Amino acid sequence: MRPPHHRKHPTVPVKPAAASGGFQRLQKVLAAAGLGSRRQCEELITAGRVEIDRRIVTELGTRVDPEQQEVRVDGVPLRRPKLAYYAVNKPSGVVSTSRDPSGRPRVVDLVPSRHERLFAIGRLDLHSEGLILVTNDGELANRLTHPRYGVAKTYRVIVAGSPSREVLDQLRRGVHLAEGVARAERVAVKSRHTGSTLLEMVLREGKNREIRRILARVGHKVLRLTRIAVGPVRLGDLPPGASRRLTHDEIKALKQAGMR
């Protein structure tokens, strides 16, 4: 969504309401309506794109009763869409972001859905492949990506060379990156080949290009990276570029994983 060119209503501070009755944090209401993760919704608020009862709100502490008050984003009244959940097998060359100025294919384009404002939960970089979840459930997206909840992601990684036991131990202990220590919760050798090794790695964090960076730091270039599971949901035999709806049991298990 693009902010409108003109505003009919001036910015008026709205006093945060008491946390009682049907009042909820504004960013939570926006996320539940499928406008993105809570962090993305906070950016909508601070950018002055959200109104409550026709007054622009920029205070993140604001609470709102969505049943009694009118919430608008870019002048459009908020509505609660039917929640949708998909698993997608992202091929290399497809971007995870919802917007791409270069016009490259997006993960959300691989979902045959009429639901508006679907977005990917987390990211896989341009050349990484495998499982990525697509939804309009902002609350679940927040829980699955926030480091506080530490939902496990499992990867198959083909690296150049043959990592030693000492290297594998170092990956488990942690590798220093610019923004802090990154570590693999589990790492196992699945097979060794001439010039390359297949690893299976489990991480609970989400630093940018984390696996590629930590492996580069220990001297092993990533040749291919495929995510095969997010929490309890597995990629299985879903073909590259294909998508499927999550089952009721998978959705329930994901929500439980995001509450630990």
Kindly indicate the confidence band of residue 31, based on its pLDDT and cuts at 50, 70 and 90.
confident
Please give the pLDDT value at position 116: 62
Q: What is the DSSP string of 170-193?
A: HHHH-EEETTEEE--SEEEEEEEE
- Per-residue buried b or exposed e for 145-179, using 16+ beta carbons within 10 Å of the residue's own CB: beeeeebebbbbbbbeeebeeebbebbeeebeeee
pLDDT at residue 147 above 90? no
CB 229 within 8 A of CB 218: no
Widest pairwise Cα distance in the chain: 67
- CATH homologous superfamily for 153-230? Alpha-L RNA-binding motif (3.30.70.1560)
Kindly indicate the confidence band of residue 258, based on its pLDDT and cuts at 50, 70 and 90.
low
Smallest CA-to-CA distance from 184 within 207, 159, 161 is with 207
Does residue 74 carry a catalytic annotation? Answer: no
pLDDT at residue 206 above 80? no
Which has the higher per-residue pLDDT, 258 or 248?
248
Kindly indicate the confidence band of residue 52, based on its pLDDT and cuts at 50, 70 and 90.
very high
Class of 85-147+233-257 per CATH?
alpha beta
Ranges in the chain annotated CATH 3.10.290.10: 24-77
Ranges in the chain annotated CATH 3.30.70.580: 85-147+233-257
Please give the pLDDT value at position 12: 35
Backbone φ and ψ for 173, nearest 5 degrees, come out as -70, -40
CATH topology of domain 24-77: 3.10.290
From the list 125, 137, 169, 237, the catalytic residue is 125
Ranges in the chain annotated CATH 3.30.70.1560: 153-230
Please give the pLDDT value at position 110: 94
Q: Return the beta strands (E) in the chain as ranges.
A: 24-25, 50-52, 55-57, 63-64, 71-73, 76-77, 85-90, 119-121, 129-135, 153-160, 175-177, 180-182, 186-193, 196-203, 222-230, 233-234, 243-245
Could you tell me the pTM of the whole model? Answer: 0.72
pLDDT at residue 87 above 90? yes
